[in-house]
Amino acid sequence: MEHTYYFDGDQKKISWIIENSQTRSEESRMHTEYFYGQVTSEQSKYIALHVGIFWGGGKIHNKKQGHS
């Protein structure tokens, strides 16, 4: 199944969307105190890219294991 992945970030938060023809998951997170206001927008987008990929992988793994 093909998925489309969008991500974004700024100095305060990161967000991502993973969608396919059947579902759409939208998530966002505030940066931890350590990163809050300390990273550039470009760095934040890079963080969002990786967090979203690992979040999506965990979601798929949990689904295959029978968890919500």
Half-sphere exposure for 39 (CA within 13 Å, toward CB): 21
pLDDT at 65: 79
List Cβ<8 Å contacts ≥24 apart for 20-28. 25/56, 25/59, 27/52, 27/55
Higher pLDDT: 59 or 25? It is: 25
pLDDT at 47: 94
Q: What would the pLDDT profile of 10-55 be if each residue is shown by its tens digit? A: 999 999 999 999 999 999 999 999 888 899 999 999 999 999 999 9
